[in-house]
Amino acid sequence: QVQLQESGPGLVKPSETLSLTCTVSGGSINNYHWSWIRQPPGAGLEYIGYIYYSGSTNYNPSLKSRVTISVDTSKNHFSLKLSFVTAADTAVYYCARLNWNDYRGLDYWGQGTLVTVSS
């Protein structure tokens, strides 16, 4: 059973960089797309971007100038960096597997981690 676990600071100061890592267990990171999704408190879901195991990426244009997603296949994890954060970036951040080749669904999710942007 594939499991994902997000890790990283829960509090980030405005204008700084949010950094999160998602560790994949129970399966290989190879041959799949891996994504980040966020959900502001009380609001809906927003796609941030994905990385393919080979390193190719896709980012939401609304965040593209501030987002970097990277992958380390040797550690079976992938990471998110979001720069110049503001209070509007406060959200629960989820990592998820995007099963694009089979059926284009987000089939495994981490439990989510709340990141608060505040001084």
Residues that bind other proteins (CB under 8 A): 35, 44-47, 49, 58-62, 94, 96, 98, 100, 103-107, 109-112
Taking the complex as a whole, the smallest distance from the CB of residue 60 to other proteins amounts, in Å, to 4
To the nearest whole angstrom, how small is the minimum distance from the Cβ of residue 39 to other proteins? Answer: 9
Nearer to other proteins, 48 or 71 (CB): 48
Structure tokens at 116: 């608060």
Question: Which residue matches tokens 């694009």?
Answer: 100
> Which of helix, strand or coil describes residue 88?
helix
**Nearer Cβ to other proteins (35/79):** 35
Any residues with CB less than 8 A from the CB of 74 and at least 6 apart, and which? none
C-alpha to C-alpha distances, 94 to 5, 23, 90, 91, nearest whole angstrom: 9, 12, 13, 9
Judged by beta carbon, residue 16 or residue 47, the one nearer other proteins is 47
**Smallest separation (angstroms) from other proteins to the CB of 13:** 26
